[in-house]
Amino acid sequence: MLPDERLTPADVEGLTLGPVVTRPDPERIEAFVAATGDDPERWAGAAPPGYAAALLFRVAGGFLWDPRLSDERRTLLHVDQEFGFRRPIPVGVDLAVTGTVQRVRRRGEASFVTFVAEVRDGADVVLGSRSTFLMSPEAASDPGPDPGEPPAVERGITEVPEAVTLDRLSSGVSLAKSASREDLVRYAAATGDLNPIHWDHDAARDAGLPGVVVHGLLLHSWMSQLASVASREEQPIVFMKTRFRQPLRPAQQATVTAGLKELAHDGKDAALALAVESGGETLVSAAATVRLHTDVTR
């Protein structure tokens, strides 16, 4: 293929990217924790689970931002995401990230792209992921009247997660979250998720959105924070599957909720149901398996 040849997503099915070597050093983790409103005291020896997004985009950007696909990504949306953790994400260690465009399904003008990635520390697998992206040369919908954008630093109430007992989690817990447009730029810098719908008003409108929207994986990170509050492990999450339904706008108030669905017979793992809600709507939902500390106080 020539460097300037136009491609469709189907043309890159089977493409493998990497391995790309990256090191989650303390400065990067600190920047990520600040951008996501996580607890800065908790994450020192390992990165927070949400940092998996930064590792994913070390390779995913290689096809998402390929200039030969520019005609196909007027709309680029994250549909769903799975992360499976084998080990804590280590800090200060070189990790090798490999990704593959596994499958492309065409539905009308839109393409649903399944992208799988794996992160290794030497021969050991740290985590694996499976993402579904929607790419289309058409706008996703009619954006409606232009509401404009809030001031760059405006946000709603934002809470830092705090540890809870398993009994408290059984009754359900929640976390208030919001992101300013400035927060979205910091998150993009911390992860490499550079989709312009998260920072460029005109690009978001052209994609059929009312304006700039919060990164789906930032919402995922908020849920992973809440999923981790009853665990003391460096790897609190074993598996998490997230479905992105509706966007959240900058400065819009959101509530993250988590509830216990099932506790393993040995008390080792817990299955949680999570969601991000705003204005009476569920914007994002997730299911997570959490590794509980063996001496969790009930």
| 31 membership: H or E segment, kind and range | helix 26-36
Assigned token pair, 109: 């003008």
Domain assignment present for 269: yes
Summarize pLDDT for 166-191 with one digit per residue, the tens: 888 888 999 999 999 999 999 999 99
Q: Give percent of the chain with pLDDT exceeding 90.
A: 90
Domain assignment present for 297: no
Report whether pLDDT(297) > 60. no
The amino acid present at 107, given as its one-letter code, is: R
Would you say 108 and 43 are in contact if contact means Cβ atoms under 8 Å apart? no
Give me the domain span that covers residue 35.
9-136+153-291
Domain assignment present for 141: no
pLDDT given at position 293: 67
Summarize pLDDT for 11-50 with one digit per residue, the tens: 999 999 999 999 999 999 999 999 999 999 999 889 999 9
Task: Name the band, by pLDDT with cuts 50, 70 and 90, for residue 267.
Answer: confident
Cα(52)–Cα(217) distance, integer angstroms: 9
Cα(255)–Cα(158) distance, integer angstroms: 9
Domain assignment present for 211: yes
Domain assignment present for 159: yes
Cα(208)–Cα(74) distance, integer angstroms: 9
CATH of the domain at 278: 3.10.129.10
Tell if the pTM clears 0.85, that is, is over it.
yes
Q: What is the mean pLDDT of residues 224-240?
A: 94
Residues 6+ apart with CB under 8 A from 226: 161, 173, 174, 175, 256, 257, 258, 274
Count other Cβ atoms within 10 Å, centred on residue 139.
14
Backbone angles phi, psi at 196, to 5 degrees: -65, -15
Domain assignment present for 275: yes
Domain assignment present for 63: yes
Backbone angles phi, psi at 242, to 5 degrees: -125, 135
3-state secondary structure 157-216: CCCCCCCCCHHHHHCCEEEEECCCHHHHHHHHHHHCCCCHHHCCHHHHHHCCCCCCCCCH
Interhelix angle for 181-191 vs 216-227, to 10°? 80
Assigned token pair, 93: 């260690």
Domain assignment present for 144: no
Domain count, the chain: 1
Nearest to 94 by CA among 16, 31, 20: 20
Assigned token pair, 67: 């200039």
